[in-house]
Structure 1
Amino acid sequence: MSSDDHPPATGSRIPWHEVHPKVRAAVEEFLGEPVAEAVTQPGGFSPAAAVRVRTTGGRRAFVKAVGPEPNADSVRIYRSELRIAAALPAHVPAPRLLTGFELDGWVTLVFEDVEGRHPAMPWRRDELDRVLAAVAEMSAALTPAPIDAPGIEEVFGGPFTGWRRLLDEDTGGLDPWILRHLGELAELESGWARAAAGDSLVHADLRADNILLSGERVYVVDWPWACRAAPWFDRVALLPSVGMQGGPAPHELFTDGDPAVTAVVAALTGYFVRQSRQPGPPGLPTLRAFQRAQGVVALDWLKRRTGWA
């Protein structure tokens, strides 16, 4: 896939005026003034409001809010993000949570407004190197995990069973290499949780749309999937999206031949490949295409790491 035709990371954003009136009123009460301007931010996979607001007195904040429609699972995800964001220590390179609450089935988070932008697409090598350095620094700072977070198997134990599920599903249209090695892939995948276990706090969902560049700083946003894992997990999980968004291929950026990493790459690849074959969830029109594109890159990486003919 060329750097110009990768699918965007976008959901169906809810504009500020369509957020539940009681939620808008509660945000304005917290900020102390009416909202005079609300600018929707398009990036990210969520059918929710993601709005930079400015009050009549000039106070700024970034507001995320989601209700049970059109995708009730988003409420659970935002509830998890609220719990994690409230617990993150100050040294984590993430925007500071100002307040959060649940009201009439909606979950709302109000963050400090960070002046920044996502990395340029296609990836520029200088920005990629800056992000990878920041991820390494973040991993070191978050080892051991500074907050109580679930282990990675608890968070991804269900999703990371793609190859094993495909053993019992229609395999039409799959890459011939997959068909030749599906049993071996399922066995390799089965060891991913043991391979990925660790005591680092990881973001676990790193992509360009979850990264902000602000001056000399790199911020990591959207932490609902944070968990304890091996310190290299965030870098490994980021690389398929880097490759599909015009950056270097994963094997050029991660050369450690550790078999534990190969098991995790197998699980990631199986997840992307199988998920991309499922019906699209409500409110997330580009998700399956995005997963499919990551799966293409991850599969090439997996072929190289296994060395299977």
Structure 2
Amino acid sequence: MSDEVVTPGQAPRAVGVRAPWEAVPAGLRAAVEGHLDARIVAAETQLGGFSPGVAARLRLAGGRRAFVKAVSAAQNPDSPRIHRSEARVARALPSQVPAPRLLADFDRDGWVVLLFEDIEGRTPAQPWRPAELARVMSVVGDLAAVLTPSPVDVPPVTESHAGSFHNWRDIAAAHAAGTDDLAGLDPWAVGHLGALAELEAGWAAGAAGDTLAHGDLRADNLLLTPDGRVVVVDWPWASRAARWFDLLLMLPSVRMQGGPPPQQLFDAHEVAAGADPDAVTAVLAAFAGYLLGSARLPAPPGLPTLRPFQAAQGVAALEWLRSRTGG
């Protein structure tokens, strides 16, 4: 593939509101230095991603580098649990997985701190460039090969996503009860709400599998290194799922950010070979419902940019779903 830019999309940026390194209490910063056995001489906040906590590249005395993630319930009540989950997965990932190595993690004074090796790299260009997208699609295949069967004890996707993949059924029930006027929903979704709720109900059986899925593959969770590697960061949502689960969840964001139609990429990819079409459609319906239903809710504490990002992905996912169902 050439390196020319693909069709641009008008996508919201995956940028949250990060707390600066200086927001970490002094005693906690000293503890980080203790774990790294070096004095921190500079910290550069990284803006990508949605966590409201600290995410910073640290430069240490002597020239070494590290990456720190730190959060407390004051930034978002759910974030400490998410960081602890990420640490559990990161500790257990096999060395063949292209992910940053976890150096240390600890809880102190209400904060959860994770220290990783610092990766020299950048996120993929937006809109997507074909050559970079090809690199990433290749890594999606590599991950499925290395991570099947799952080498890490994580929940099955039927458990990890049970609280998320029910929005069409919830919306339909609320509409039937007269408590949801469907304001803001796509007209096609409104006209097919019953069918969408029925499709969504089959997602759990469709998504089941024994591949360790990242669960949140997007451009802002990928680093392209100067030596040609693709490094996958942020693993708190890992679960056991179908080999194609990560690919399916990633493709609406690719489309949103100027990439090719999802169906084109999905059908051509090795991890989708032999996938049950009905299972794929059910999971896609559930994911589209999750995105579009979540986008109608108020922003979570500390994450003011999340809902527009979900809405834009939802538009792409629904477009794909319509093409699969002949809508």
Which of the five TM-score ranges fits, normalised by the shorter chain? over 0.9
Equivalent position to 1:191, from 202, 205, 211: 202
Q: Which residue of 2 aligns with 1:25?
A: 30
Equivalent position to 2:250, from 220, 235, 238: 238
Q: Which residue of 2 aligns with 1:209?
A: 220
Moved more, 217-226 or 244-253: 244-253
CA distance in 1, matches of 2:30, 2:234: 24
Equivalent position to 1:200, from 188, 211, 222: 211
Q: Which residue of 2 aligns with 1:16?
A: 21
* Within-5 A mapping of 1:62-77: 62-77=67-82
SS of structure 2 residue aligned to 1:254: helix
Deviations 1:256-276 (A, max 9, x none): 671111101000100011001
Residue 302 of structure 1: how far off its partner (Å): 0.4
CA distance in 2, matches of 1:5, 1:69: 32
Residue 173 of structure 1: how far off its partner (Å): 2.8
Deviations 1:178-201 (A, max 9, x none): 112111110110110110000000
CA distance in 2, matches of 1:73, 1:20: 20
CA distance in 2, matches of 1:239, 1:195: 18
Equivalent position to 1:45, from 40, 47, 50: 50
CA distance in 1, matches of 2:206, 2:84: 28
CA distance in 2, matches of 1:288, 1:3: 21
Q: Quick check: 2:105–2:113 contact (8 Å CA) kept in 1?
A: yes
Amino acid at match of 1:233: F
CA distance in 2, matches of 1:200, 1:158: 20
1:171 matched to 2:176? The reply is no
Moved more, 173-182 or 142-151: 173-182
CA distance in 1, matches of 2:195, 2:260: 28
Equivalent position to 1:83, from 77, 83, 88: 88
Deviations 1:219-261 (A, max 9, x none): 1000000010000011110000000001112122123671111
Q: Which residue of 1 aligns with 2:177?
A: none
Where in structure 1 are there 5+ consecutive unaligned residues? none
Equivalent position to 2:264, from 245, 249, 252: 252
CA distance in 2, matches of 1:173, 1:58: 52
* Within-5 A mapping of 1:51-62: 51-62=56-67
Residue 22 of structure 1: how far off its partner (Å): 2.2
Equivalent position to 2:284, from 265, 289, 298: 265
1:284 matched to 2:303? The reply is yes
Amino acid at match of 2:238: A
1:303 matched to 2:322? The reply is yes
Q: Quick check: 1:92–1:138 contact (8 Å CA) kept in 2?
A: yes
Amino acid at match of 1:194: A
CA distance in 1, matches of 2:302, 2:87: 21
CA distance in 1, matches of 2:8, 2:167: 27
Q: Which residue of 2 aligns with 1:136?
A: 141
Q: Quick check: 2:49–2:221 contact (8 Å CA) kept in 1?
A: yes
Q: Quick check: 2:9–2:255 contact (8 Å CA) kept in 1?
A: no
CA distance in 1, matches of 2:190, 2:35: 56
Q: Which residue of 1 aligns with 2:3?
A: none
Deviations 1:83-109 (A, max 9, x none): 111111111110000110111111111
Amino acid at match of 2:248: V
CA distance in 1, matches of 2:146, 2:22: 39
Q: Give the alignment's Cα RMSD to 1 decimal.
A: 1.2
SS of structure 1 residue aligned to 2:91: helix
Deviations 1:81-135 (A, max 9, x none): 1111111111111000011011111111100111011000100011001100111
Amino acid at match of 1:46: S
CA distance in 1, matches of 2:234, 2:181: 34
Residue 4 of structure 1: how far off its partner (Å): 5.6
CA distance in 1, matches of 2:124, 2:234: 16
Where in structure 2 are there 5+ consecutive unaligned residues? 1-6, 175-179
Q: Which residue of 1 aligns with 2:116?
A: 111
CA distance in 2, matches of 1:212, 1:252: 24
Q: Which runs of 4+ in 1 moved over 2 A?
A: 2-5
Q: Quick check: 1:10–1:284 contact (8 Å CA) kept in 2?
A: no
CA distance in 2, matches of 1:252, 1:142: 24
Amino acid at match of 1:240: P
